[in-house]
Amino acid sequence: MTSLSSTINYRLPQIEKVLQLHELQFYINSLSRPIVTRLIQKELDSIRQSDEFKQQGCDAINVIERIVSRCSQTQYKKLQRVINATGTVIHTNLGRSPINAEIWDSVRGINIGYNNLELQISSGKRGGRKGIMGELLQALTGAEDAVIVNNNASSVYLILAELAKGKEVIVSRGEQIQIGGGFRIPDILALTGAKMVEVGSTNITTADDYINAITPETALILMVHQSNFTIQGFTEKPDIADVAKRLPAHIILAVDQGSGLSNETLSQSEICIAQYIKWGADLVCFSGDKILGGPQSGIICGRHALIALLEKNPMMRTFRPSRIIYSLLEALLIKKLNKANSGKGIAQRTIDDQQNIHDKAKRLVALFPQYLTLKSLPLVIGGGTLPNTQYVSTGVSIKCEGHCAEAISSALRQAPNPIITTIKNAEVLCHLAAVNDDDYLILQQKLQLYFQQL
């Protein structure tokens, strides 16, 4: 008599045969054959251990569909271009500032061949990486010199490690901030060996608070940009020029400006780098990939003697950027100093482009009036730049009868060329502010495809 178990098909497909299937070729090309092989192995192991397989065998399971699904989920982890329809221009989760295409193309030759990254062409001898970066940033900010590191967190760390190790650093209680990823000012001070001295209160810190806290052990005053929050109401901040004027000559005034606002006109409240230098700050550090509009980097501007010390710190080899970063920053700064449109960061270009954004939203609604409604939507720069500044821009809301907002947003996000939207009051909001002309055409096509499938 034949047992029940002997009639059940427990034979899973061989891995090599699965790899030959048409459905897997895209993922082999995109992820590599070894990765797809491993994913097949994992999925087959998962199937073997499932109660469904043990009780009913292969016939109850679409094995290939499950393998393709696992490959698809891994595919989503790859770095890929997405369409930013969130209304946050410098979006930390979406790579912050996109590089201008003209800037990117202009440095292609430098990066696909050899270059003089550490060579003095005039003498033929080894040189430093900085090139003309010091001169460019001097022209932009008025500082004597500058050094580039891989991000602004590195800037703060390097300043404290080199100039305040074992010494006191005075920090306002209202500026002991935490930024994304758990980067806390008090923790960084402790890590570098500096000793934090707290002054003032959460909402009020005066020039006298800083000056009165100075002791023979004080090395530095650190002022920190409140990048991702604001304190409103009964508040007071010190006159930085007054603090700088009253400081003993050996005390360093360092400012973490954060946002990278230089010659942009998008904010009346944000203090630009050059103003801090003019007021007497010895060092000002900021991000290269926020308002400035360049690649991820940290930039420290200030007195030549202090920059020279930072450049000699052993940690500089850890923090120094690659040729790609230097070439992109160099090209951007030249364009910015020449007041070319390609020298503007994404934040400034977006603020200047509101009429075009409004027109694109109207055209989109005209194409899909059944599903889209024109909306006036808030626009923020984001990325820890202007937490107290909000602009008004334009986008559309998406509503499909019988489909909830979460389902619509998920479908748009998981399609090829993912569209990243937001949800508010059960509406899917598709903000056009950070959708450039190329992305707009893709967005239009993806919406059309999605609506046709409803």
- pLDDT averaged over the chain? 92
Domain hosting residue 128, numbered range: 101-343
- CATH number of the domain encompassing residue 232: 3.40.640.10
- CATH number of the domain encompassing residue 360: 3.90.1150.180
Q: What is the pLDDT of residue 186?
A: 85
Residue after which a domain boundary falls, among 290, 316, 343: 343
In total, the chain counts a number of residues equal to 454
Q: What is the pLDDT of residue 340?
A: 96
> How does DSSP assign 240-306, residue by residue?
HHHHHHHS-TTSEEEEEEES--SS--S-SSSPPHHHHHHHT-SEEEEESSSTT--SS-EEEEE-HHH
Residues 328, 229, single domain; the answer is yes
Q: Are 389 and 372 in contact (CB under 8 A)?
A: no
Q: What is the pLDDT of residue 1?
A: 39
The string of pLDDT tens digits covering residues 55-73 is 888 888 999 999 999 999 9
Among the residue ranges 10-19, 173-182, 434-443, the one predicted with the least confidence is 173-182
The string of pLDDT tens digits covering residues 227-261 is 655 666 656 788 899 999 999 999 999 999 989 99
Residues 310, 379, single domain; the answer is no
Residues 88, 109, single domain; the answer is no
Instruction: Compute the distance between CA of residue 8 and CA of residue 29 in angstroms, rounded to an integer.
Output: 35
H/E stretch holding 70: helix 63-75
Residue 255 backbone dihedrals phi, psi, to 5 degrees: -120, 125
Q: Are 141 and 276 in contact (CB under 8 A)?
A: no
Domains in the chain: how many in total? 3
Residue 292 backbone dihedrals phi, psi, to 5 degrees: -55, -40
The string of pLDDT tens digits covering residues 284-302 is 999 999 999 999 999 999 9
Residues of 63-100 as b/e, b for ≥16 C-beta within 10 angstroms? beeebbebbeebeeeeeeebbbbbbbbbbbebebbbbb
pLDDT band at 24 (very low <50, low <70, confident <90, very high): very high
Residues of 135-153 as b/e, b for ≥16 C-beta within 10 angstroms? ebbbebbebbbbbbbbbbb
Instruction: Compute the distance between CA of residue 336 and CA of residue 438 in angstroms, rounded to an integer.
Output: 23
Burial of 231 (0-12, 13-18, 19+ CB in 10 A): middle
Largest CA distance in the chain: 100
Q: Are 300 and 310 in contact (CB under 8 A)?
A: yes
Residues 162, 23, single domain; the answer is no
In 111-247 the beta strands, taken as DSSP E runs, fall at: 119-120, 125-126, 145-149, 168-172, 178-179, 183-184, 195-199, 218-224
The predicted model gives 314-337 an average pLDDT of: 96
Residues 115, 53, single domain; the answer is no
The string of pLDDT tens digits covering residues 142-178 is 999 999 999 999 999 999 999 999 999 999 988 787 7
Residues 259, 210, single domain; the answer is yes
Residue after which a domain boundary falls, among 40, 75, 110: 75
Two tokens, residue 114: 């050899």
CA angle 26, 29, 32 (to 5 degrees): 120
Residues 356, 400, single domain; the answer is yes
Residues 331, 353, single domain; the answer is no
The string of pLDDT tens digits covering residues 122-149 is 999 998 889 999 999 999 999 999 999 9
Cα→Cα distances 355→323, 349, 395, Å: 37, 12, 12
The predicted model gives 220-228 an average pLDDT of: 83
Q: Torsion angle, CA of 83/89/90/92, rounded to 10 degrees?
A: -50
Predicted TM-score (pTM) of this structure: 0.91
H/E stretch holding 128: none
Cross-sheet strand order for the sheet of 427-431: 372-379, 391-398, 427-431, 422-424
Two tokens, residue 77: 């982890």
The predicted model gives 323-331 an average pLDDT of: 97
Residues near 97 by beta carbon (within 8 Å), at least 6 away in sequence: 90, 289, 290, 292, 293, 294, 345, 346, 347, 383
pLDDT band at 3 (very low <50, low <70, confident <90, very high): very low
In 333-390 the beta strands, taken as DSSP E runs, fall at: 372-379
Q: Are 205 and 172 in contact (CB under 8 A)?
A: yes
Residues 448, 427, single domain; the answer is yes
Residues 126, 218, single domain; the answer is yes
3-state secondary structure of 427: strand
Residues 319, 438, single domain; the answer is no
